[in-house]
Structure 1
Amino acid sequence: MWLVAEREISTKLRSKAFVISTAILFVAALAGLVFGGLAAQNQSGTPVAVTADAASLLPSTAGLTVTEVPDRAAAVALVTSGKVDAAIVGDPTAKPLGFTLVAKSSAPSSLLLQFAQVPPVQLLEPAQTNSAIRYVVAIGFGIVFLMAASLFGSTIAASVVEEKQTRVVEILISAIRARTLLAGKVIGNTILAVGQILVLAAIAIVGLTVIGQSQLLTMLGSPILWFAVFFLFGFVLLAALFAAAGAMVSRQEDIGSTTFPITLLIMAPYFLVIFFNDNPVVLAIMSYVPFSAPVGMPVRLFLGDAQWWEPLISLVILLATCVAAILVGARIYQNSLLRMGGRVKFSEALRG
């Protein structure tokens, strides 16, 4: 099993296309972090109104143009008139911060980055979409999951078809069992995919530290760790299905017909977070569906909408689905691997 995994890893690392695409991904991620951080730093002088009972509660006024007002009514009047972008008013019920942020249609992202914990936000005229930070973080998790899962998943399927098309698989199966071959492929590609995710996480941590976005780094720390855990088991699930889909055909031209449903499962979380990143009901459902949990749950953790026990329950559901997918995928893979010619029907692959 490990011999097959080593072969998968070494083959990828010797591929110029894989190395170049991975390097471009890392550089693009670093450039995006630096650009976003510098843009946030350049948004200096954000006009805000602060009530007298909230002035002492602010952690910092750097990058803000503060207008002190006597009470909440005066602060709301300045926000409504557009003289300030937001107001910070004392609120004893808003624990543990002790204040609430009042904005007209959306809270300024540069202001939210001032706080280690996102304060309660009250919008006087709520917009259809939420703040820029929510959107960027949701899209970030969605696109990383989409790119990594689709890249390595399609590679597994193409590798299986190539081995069938060249009849190499007949030699392999004479030496090892089909399930051992499948496990080696899944393990090897999972190591590469998770390694890529960990490098991206390291780039995010280093990049945010260098550009001085310690507040955002604190907010993203736990969600990034949970994303890595969910991605690990979610990718194993998808890898087993991709390998099974590849074994059902004998030509590279036919691979799209069997992998298309799995590709839709990967694309769905990305489009859902684009259109519903401000919908707590949709995000809650996503966080418990195995194929979208790697995106939905980290986003909810970042927003503070998930309780401490929710990631654990979601992870248990993902693990149970992962075991079921491995069993079904292994059966399809074993029953279809040596069948040449036309596409193997799903019912025939299950029956053997």
Structure 2
Amino acid sequence: MISLVVPTLGRPSLATLLDALAGQLGELPGAELLLVDDRRDDTGELSVPGALATYTKVLTGRGAGPAAARNLGWWAARGEWVVFLDDDVVPAPDWARRLRADLAVPDRVGGVQGVVEVPLPGRRRPTDWERGTAGLADGRWITADMAYRRAALIAVGGFDERFPRAYREDAELAHRVRRGCWHLVRGRRRVTHPVRPESRWVSLRTQRGNADDALLRRLYGRTWRAELDLPPGRRTQHVAVAMAGTAALAATALRAAPLRSDRARRTLGVLGGLAALGWAAGTAEFTRDRVAPGPRTPDEVATMLVTSALIPPLAVVHWVRGWWRARAVPAGALVTADGPGAES
């Protein structure tokens, strides 16, 4: 038996997903679909197509994020395999048939990832947000379409609910599953992940994920990126740029204050100038890296200029906030079948 778990905020994309599944679940004998409504407010019941009614159970989440919603779903699931889908993907017409083939694997395979395709505009270069979404196609063990044996989920305790965002929580679970001597493999089923419309300032909002990175650093130490098989980030550069900008502002403020000598003013002027130059160079380099592969329209360039100046300090602030919250977490305190516990 196969259980499909879909956490949702009731976005319009859910209807597209359900329509795509409606004609396919008959190919999965005994399958069940668990929708976890994770909306914080009561905005009405989720609409389920009639063809899915006999397969579907709607669960009410706590609004605590996708990790908690997925846990609620798989705890209620009855299948040997639990397939996690995001509510904004579109399964291919042969998805269910290929899923059956994907799950015909040896007993020690604990998870099978589907292929995620992100359609990008064909007549222009993709924007920064579109390129970021396209990165899902190369992601490892992402829950846009990821199947786990229920036994593997039970063994490691499921998702760590201390990660409240759709960011790193799936990579962290996959790492614990592999540490538990289960194998993860890639399958051949396919889903499409359209780029959803977003505000031009979305890159500022996504910096909140740095708080989750701080928790991962606490749990896994300095090698957390290598352990979780994650690409290198820009934290070192962001810290350097943020410090340079702060130093430039501090030197300017001190230089304007009453001082005993002109020499002090000149020294602060030189130091402030060097710091401002470092900030400008770092910001220009970051902006160039984001503008060059994009469409280079005036609106996109302006957005990149503003956000490239704001992202480094925001990233550092969120990292520090996450570090402060994680400081009381014992190093290596991972999730176990009974909840958070010490595991070395």
TM-score (norm 2): 0.25
Structure number having the greater helix percentage? 1
Q: Which of the two has higher C-alpha Rg? A: 1
TM-score (norm 1): 0.25
